[in-house]
């Protein structure tokens, strides 16, 4: 795991004034990466680094030659239309780029390379994002014991936790082609569901559409087929983290998932935030893994070591808000419906990587892994509506408008936000993952129904 260094100093500031504002997600201690181009342009997409309300155009920075040595090599890879080659370069290259840009952006930095970098800044308000990497593979985990118990009570009230949950990080292979960028509108999906008390399923639009508050993490260096990643080496394969919303059609999901797991209930859309916050930037916010008091099962040896126990967790503060059509029409702020922390996750991201590869699966640079829904120990920390509404039996009230919801309605916009803060460290953020739910896409599904 990354040790603290000068890039984490809470007293460090930048000559980019907006990076020093209170509550800024992107101070100099963060420097997350994304892929972007100017809005309305036909420019090639390229890598960028957030600093305040600006983005460092890595394509322009490469052309200007602002870094040398390994930093220049890393900059060239990060300036491509997708970050896969940069991720494959590994921790030394990731560090060289981050430290090189930090030194140039630091208050008091001077010289021709600093002057050149000033010309490489683009306002974030003037850019569009692309997916940060070509995602060949997407795996979604199920690693919050609070979420598992809450949802389990809906499906299996007398036995909510599956026997394997406390022994291994459970996951399923998702659909990489339907991973989309924050801001991409999507339609309510169609499929089969079994109504309560019915003897045959019905076909139609999802009636129980749900969000899932998750984090995603991108694989940097991969592993060869047949060569598992030991727990002590897992973090070296993880580049960084983003926000992730694993949209779920609950009525379709609960009908179809036995015996092979999620299919159409999960594959229609997964949205991620544009900025990847590096594991190095998150170093001040590492916390112990969730403790397992006796007589609870303890991890098997391949999923257990002292380093993971001491600092395998990450304390990311997370919120979910819903903005209805009424909120927009009346100019009201969205209603916050949940607030929790990633520190409650039962299995760590390193354990997820090790479990994913223990059978010999080969992860690749740019692979996306989802953490599973993030829920805390109290009712207000639930990370999905199926929990908040207790399976749709208890409506929640949206602040501001007084509307009620058991599941999402057409026209709702869901926003996830995440940030890290504590005394003695600089606050850093992930930005936002925001998605708007449109009505059911009926043209193609009308043909299916005939």
In a 3-state reduction of DSSP, which class is residue 170? strand
Catalytic residue among 8, 146, 147, 187: 147
Structure tokens given for 94 = 């990731």
Distance CA 63, CA 117 (A): 10
Distance of CA 1 to the CA centre of its chain: 20
Residue 414's DSSP bridge partners are 322, 435
Structure tokens given for 429 = 């953020």
- Asked if 207 contacts 191 with a C-beta cutoff of 8 angstroms, the reply is no
Does the active-site annotation cover 356? no
CA-closest candidate to residue 210, choices 255, 262, 171, 265: 265
Q: Which residue has the tokens 């930093």?
A: 71
Respond yes or no on whether the N-terminal peptide bond of residue 295 is cis (omega within 30° of 0). Answer: yes
- Asked if 229 contacts 354 with a C-beta cutoff of 8 angstroms, the reply is yes
- Burial class of residue 394, CB neighbours in 10 A (0-12, 13-18, 19+): exposed
Q: Strand ranges (DSSP E) for 58-163?
A: 121-123, 127-130, 138-142
Q: Any idea what DSSP says for residue 224?
A: -
Distance CA 426, CA 179 (A): 31
- Asked if 338 contacts 345 with a C-beta cutoff of 8 angstroms, the reply is no
Distance CA 298, CA 277 (A): 31
- Asked if 318 contacts 213 with a C-beta cutoff of 8 angstroms, the reply is yes
Distance CA 327, CA 336 (A): 12
- Asked if 237 contacts 223 with a C-beta cutoff of 8 angstroms, the reply is yes
Phi, psi of 131 (to 5 degrees): -55, 140
Give me the half-sphere count of Cα atoms (radius 13 Å) on the Cβ side of residue 6.
8
- Burial class of residue 359, CB neighbours in 10 A (0-12, 13-18, 19+): exposed
As annotated, the active-site residues are: 147
């Amino acid at each position: 795991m990354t040790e603290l260094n000068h890039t984490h100093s809470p007293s460090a500031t930048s000559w980019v004034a907006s990076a020093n504002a209170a509550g800024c997600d992107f101070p100099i201690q963060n420097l997350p990466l994304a892929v972007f181009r100017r809005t309305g342009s036909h420019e090639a997409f390229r890598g960028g680094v957030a600093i305040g309300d600006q983005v460092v155009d890595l394509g322009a920075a490469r052309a200007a030659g602002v870094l040398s040595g390994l930093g220049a090599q890393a900059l060239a890879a990060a300036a491509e239309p997708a970050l896969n080659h940069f991720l494959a370069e590994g921790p030394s290259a990731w560090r060289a780029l981050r430290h090189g840009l930090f030194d140039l952006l630091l208050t008091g930095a001077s010289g021709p390379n600093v002057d050149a970098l000033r010309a490489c800044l683009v306002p974030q308000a003037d850019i569009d994002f692309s997916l940060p990497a070509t995602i060949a593979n997407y795996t979604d985990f199920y690693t919050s014991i609070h979420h598992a118990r809450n949802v389990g009570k809906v499906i299996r009230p007398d036995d909510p936790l599956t026997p394997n949950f406390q022994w291994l990080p459970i996951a399923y292979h998702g659909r990489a082609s339907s991973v989309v960028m924050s801001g991409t509108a999507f339609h309510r999906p169609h499929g089969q569901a079994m109504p309560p008390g019915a003897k045959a399923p019905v076909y139609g639009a999802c009636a129980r559409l749900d969000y899932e508050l998750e984090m995603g993490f991108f694989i940097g260096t991969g592993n060869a087929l047949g060569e598992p990643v030991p727990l002590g080496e897992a973090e070296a394969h993880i580049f960084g983290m983003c926000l992730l919303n694993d949209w779920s059609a609950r009525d379709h999901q609960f009908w179809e998932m036995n015996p092979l797991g999620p299919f159409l209930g999960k594959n229609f859309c997964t949205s991620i935030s544009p900025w990847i916050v590096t594991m190095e930037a998150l170093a001040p916010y590492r916390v112990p893994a969730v403790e397992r008091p006796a007589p609870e099962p303890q991890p098997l040896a391949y999923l257990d070591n002292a380093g993971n126990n001491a600092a395998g967790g990450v304390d990311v503060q997370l919120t979910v808000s819903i903005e209805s059509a009424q909120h927009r029409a009346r100019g009201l702020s969205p209603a916050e419906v949940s607030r929790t922390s990633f520190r409650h996750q039962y299995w760590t991201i390193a354990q997820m990587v090790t479990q994913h590869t223990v059978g010999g699966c080969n992860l690749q640079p740019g692979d996306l892994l989802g953490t599973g829904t993030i829920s805390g120990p109290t009712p207000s920390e639930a990370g999905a509506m199926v929990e908040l509404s207790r399976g749709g039996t208890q409506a929640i009230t949206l602040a501001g408008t007084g509307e009620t919801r058991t599941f999402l309605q057409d026209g709702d916009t869901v926003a996830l936000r995440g940030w890290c803060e504590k005394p003695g460290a600089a606050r850093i953020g992930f930005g936002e993952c925001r998605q708007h739910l449109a009505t059911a896409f009926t043209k193609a599904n009308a043909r299916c129904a005939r």
